[in-house]
Structure 1
Amino acid sequence: MSAFQPRVFSGVQPTGNLHLGNYLGAIIKFVALQHEHECLYCVVDMHAITVPQDPQELTRTIREVAAAFIASGVDPKKNIIFNQSQVSAHAELAWILNCTARIGWLNRMTQFKEKAGKDRENASVGLYVYPVLMAADILAYKATHVPVGEDQKQHLELARDIAQKFNNDFSASIARHGYGEAFFPQPEPLIQGAATRVMSLRDGSKKMSKSDPSDASRINLTDDADAIAAKVRKAKTDPEPLPSETAGLEARPEAENLVGIYAALGGISKQDVLNDFGGGQFSAFKNALVELAVTKLGPIGAEMKRLVADPGSIDKILGDGAERADAIARPNLAAVKDIVGFVRR
């Protein structure tokens, strides 16, 4: 790993309704990482079309995700913010890596089984092979670190396997072209602090999701103060007071979720939250959570609305980012073509 320049890559799908789970699970970490690493943050629009999308809505949500990055504090001058489809290396490298990956590896990907459901024969080929595109997203930049949640760890392991197999299959050619023993790094998962898994406000056993039919189940990043307050106050709880120790949150999913949200927004531990609110009723705690959530999320929502109202400025940021991303990916792709034996112009 030391032979490769440290670089972070991560992507967010533009599938609409960015919510608190996206913010605490990914975007807030992007903001922290930009102070320590060279970072590329990608709106992965090519991944989005593995399932049907309305074209006009896709255009809107690409810009909305970019706006969420910026409104949350990601600096587009310090980092590279771009959308995947503007950099052709993603698609070109994905095809080469499709010829490196094995069908048996993809058959073990649990997310395909979950997303395709019972009617797998009707799923798109793109949905089946998108973990290889994810590997190409990472390896096109020789990224060394990838922030991942629990649901993406298997895909990062696949990216590592593909990188290793490519390095092994073409070891002689890699050496002959002067790239040493390995061309691709083994990207490492980057876990920052305690993993934040935000659950539904209506059911603490289910992950907060943009696909939940109930808007009350999630706090959208574009919600105003009144909407945030209403959703928090109506969030499902249980009749017992808050415990004084984190062990007391076991078997109380709704309580654990709300305490976890407060801790993540406040940058403190769950035990710190219980030190302040343990033994009390949910009403006082919810009032404090409303105040914290509105303070933290209100400005983000307002800035997102301001940004998306000026699509030209977002498109310029995405275009500039794509040029900078392409400047990194293009020579890497050219080297891959040399390694596999293609004749280039």
Structure 2
Amino acid sequence: MSEVMAAPAAEKKKVVLSGIQPSGLITIGNYLGAVKNWAEIQEQYRCVFMIANLHATTVRQEPAALRKNTLEAYAMLLACGVDPKRSIVFVQSQNPHHTELMWALNCYTQFGELSRMTQFKDKSARYADNVNAGLFTYPTLMAADILLYQADYVPVGIDQKQHVELTRDIAQRMNGVLGNLFTMPECLFPKAGAKIMALTDPTKKMSKSDPNPKSYVAVLDPKDTVIKKFKSAVTDSGSGICRAEGKEGIGNLMTIYSAFTGKSDEEITAEFEGRGYGDFKLAVGETVADVLAPVRERFAALMRDRAYLDACCAEGLEQAMRISQRTRDKVYKKIGFFL
């Protein structure tokens, strides 16, 4: 699938569908790689964003924590610039059409296709004590998410590309058997950009599941915490702010600084010429904390206004169900189900 960068201005806006699981934590890697981009593409596309709490339950969840994390994830999207007046923003579990379409898709998906999913293999090894059917059929729920809204594009990283390809296979199969039901979705790859690595090990991707909290920076971390984490970031024993073999730690900090300032490597190297790693780490930490300050403030304000969040959730759900019901009904009629 070709890389998609921008929607043609003269055409009707294409539909983009994406979601985020309510994990209770968004790192700067998640922010730069996904959520920040969602806010930026709202002018180009007709966007549908969901809190994917059904997907989250393939791993055991504590009910109260899941409810809390779901509301916080919704507030975080809005705090990061997703506008519920320009985009459809809703909670996945509130729309029954997702699981209803999923059953139909399951019946047109082969066992072998699901068993070849790389993510299923990886998570089965990681959660060996809970290899459940939901984990196995996760890709068909993701396919239902996408196909319900006739999405043209799905923002993904390379690890999710396989799931979009399976969605296309299922859609093509059902279109061939039952008629023209679904739009064929394509991957929407982000602009070549920041791959944020762990502060404690710059050879590993930054992850909120890392047991060492010093390895990642969360969007909601207080300014002092952000600066402290960057000050303790692993670097080499050399000097000079530049990219080079053996300087992966400095390279990662340059990537982060560039992502938050828009400065090139050459500009960063010139800015810190003759200055030590300590100065650079402090500058990166202060910059990240200052850029994220409005997000933290907006999130806190939203969490104090539960009535507003509930109203946004209800409006987003109504819009989502109106669109998804058309697809669900069309599929059910073609299959032969009573409505």
TM-score (norm 1): 0.90
Indicate if the aligned counterparts of 2:13 and 2:45 stay in contact, CA closer than 8 A.
Answer: no
Deviation of 1:277 after TM superposition, in Å, equals 3.5
Instruction: State the 4+ residue runs in structure 1 displaced beyond 6 angstroms.
Output: 2-5
Distance 1:24 1:88 in 2: 31
The within-5 A match list for 1:153-172 is 153-170=161-178
The within-5 A match list for 1:230-249 is 230-242=228-240, 244=242, 246=243, 248=244
Distance 1:5 1:97 in 2: 27
2:253 aligned residue: 258
Unaligned runs of 5+ in 1: 175-181
1:183 aligned residue: 181
Deviation of 1:66 after TM superposition, in Å, equals 1.0
Deviation of 1:119 after TM superposition, in Å, equals 6.2
The one-letter code of the counterpart of 2:132 is S
| Percent of matched pairs sharing the same residue | 39
Distance 1:308 1:26 in 2: 22
Deviation of 1:146 after TM superposition, in Å, equals 0.8
Q: Deviations over 1:309-339 (max 9, x none)?
A: 3333222211210111111111111111112
Indicate if the aligned counterparts of 2:106 and 2:140 stay in contact, CA closer than 8 A.
Answer: yes
The one-letter code of the counterpart of 2:67 is T
2:210 aligned residue: 212
Indicate if the aligned counterparts of 1:5 and 1:144 stay in contact, CA closer than 8 A.
Answer: no
Distance 1:167 1:251 in 2: 52
Deviation of 1:84 after TM superposition, in Å, equals 0.3
Cα distance change of structure 1 residues 214 and 269 upon mapping to structure 2, 3 Å threshold = same
Deviation of 1:276 after TM superposition, in Å, equals 3.3
Deviation of 1:242 after TM superposition, in Å, equals 3.9
Indicate if the aligned counterparts of 1:141 and 1:332 stay in contact, CA closer than 8 A.
Answer: yes
1:69 aligned residue: 77
Q: Deviations over 1:41-93 (max 9, x none)?
A: 11000001111001111111111111111111111111111110111111111
Q: Say which SS state the counterpart of residue 117 (structure 1) adopts.
A: helix
The within-5 A match list for 1:188-337 is 188-242=186-240, 244=242, 246=243, 248=244, 250-277=245-272, 280-337=275-332
The one-letter code of the counterpart of 1:252 is K
Indicate if the aligned counterparts of 1:243 and 1:274 stay in contact, CA closer than 8 A.
Answer: yes
Distance 2:129 2:232 in 1: 41
1:24 aligned residue: 32
1:101 alignment partner, one of 95, 106, 109? 109
**Number of aligned pairs?**
331
Q: 188-197 or 277-286, which moves further after superposition?
A: 277-286
Distance 1:65 1:270 in 2: 33
Deviation of 1:256 after TM superposition, in Å, equals 2.1
- Provide the aligned C-alpha RMSD in A: 2.2
Indicate if the aligned counterparts of 1:242 and 1:255 stay in contact, CA closer than 8 A.
Answer: no
Cα distance change of structure 1 residues 280 and 142 upon mapping to structure 2, 3 Å threshold = same
Indicate if the aligned counterparts of 1:4 and 1:142 stay in contact, CA closer than 8 A.
Answer: no
Indicate if the aligned counterparts of 1:145 and 1:187 stay in contact, CA closer than 8 A.
Answer: yes
Q: 325-334 or 256-265, which moves further after superposition?
A: 256-265
Indicate if the aligned counterparts of 1:16 and 1:210 stay in contact, CA closer than 8 A.
Answer: no
Distance 1:119 1:40 in 2: 30
Distance 2:254 2:320 in 1: 39
The one-letter code of the counterpart of 1:90 is H
1:147 alignment partner, one of 151, 155, 158? 155
Q: Say which SS state the counterpart of residue 236 (structure 2) adopts.
A: coil
Indicate if the aligned counterparts of 2:241 and 2:277 stay in contact, CA closer than 8 A.
Answer: no
Distance 2:291 2:49 in 1: 22
Indicate if the aligned counterparts of 2:226 and 2:285 stay in contact, CA closer than 8 A.
Answer: yes
